[in-house]
Copies of this chain bind each other. A is one copy, B any other.
């Protein structure tokens, strides 16, 4: 194979952006051959924009029946990701799915099984893994520089959204349409990086969510999650779409100091001696280990969505290692599911979660939903500069 024929399902905000990138030739080795969207206005837009070079479908069956695709980008609402990925794997296609992996881990697990069975290349649009800052955090932790982790603390409240954002699509911020709010739509990137950089998955979760706290929506727009890890470390994850200007500050404390990512900088306060060792050996009462504040050099730039697109195509064509293997999408989703379960039950949730319980609770939410969106025009928003 010298080039990958790519089809895209879903021409919403993200799918439209990916389609444009590939169509313009910005992803070497990839050619856009087909798009699919059931909405007439998006079909019209695709015809107008791509002309006869790209097949435009409004039916999924027709899209999957056509022979002219090797690989599929799934950019539909969240619920459909696993179902469509499974269909794609069964059709022998490579898959790149938008985040989150899905809404509940039960069918994401099935998706992962289908991926494994197919042997196809499966990636997830965790574009923030292309950010060299977080790659460096991961490297400093996995190489042992930070030592055993004691605490993680991510304040990621800079996902500000106004009511008009929520009103821009009927599916947005509903249990039936999205399956959640800030945890399922905005924060999956950080939920992914939280476990990817540290290599730690929580063993239990206690979370507190505000549902429709700052907006006229039924899902959560404000979350505080406390977690515990197997090694005894604890963690916090705080997110909201109701604060402006918000904060994005990720701190990881370890036995050899602490790392902080904030304002696009990575700072390492490095202890010359292990704290645990100092604690045992020091006899002076007040005092602490010598500490060096280090501005960690970070090279390269965040290649974002196009970086993931290129990596996926490179993996298909040349067997490159995936930066964001699709199978890993279940990790951040499992944390997210646990946060909902804990908030709903007002109790601890052990991980791995009870997948059936989560699924059932979510169905209840959908069933009990009395939420009716005000009459709004569905619009495709320009996502330049967003995630």
Interface positions of A (Cβ within 8 A of B): 150-151, 153, 155, 157, 160-165, 168, 206, 208, 210, 213-215, 222, 224, 226, 228, 232, 234, 236, 238, 240, 242-247, 249, 251, 253, 257-258, 260, 269, 271, 275, 278-280, 282-289, 291, 379, 381-383, 386
Contacts and interface: CB of A to CB of B under 8 A. Distances in A.
10 contacts: A150-B240, A151-B157, A160-B288, A164-B282, A164-B285, A213-B232, A224-B236, A244-B275, A247-B251, A247-B260
B208 A226 contact: yes
Nearest to A225: B226
Given A253-B157, A285-B381, A243 B279 contact: no
A228 B246 CA distance: 19
Given A208-B234, A224-B236, A258-B247, A286 B165 contact: yes
Given A162-B278, A226-B224, A251-B247, A242 B150 contact: yes
A339 B376 CA distance: 46
B243 A253 contact: yes
Nearest to A155: B153
Contact of A288 (B150, B244, B271, B379): B244
A287 B162 CA distance: 7
A208 B208 contact: no
Nearest to A228: B208
Contacts of A232: 210, 213
Nearest to A164: B283
Given A162-B288, A224-B236, A232-B213, A258 B243 contact: yes
Contact of A289 (B214, B244, B253, B288): B244
Contact of A243 (B150, B210, B247): B150
Contacts of A260: 247
B279 A215 contact: yes
A150 to B, nearest CB: 6
A260 to B, nearest CB: 8
A284 B164 contact: yes
Contact of A222 (B161, B164, B234): B234
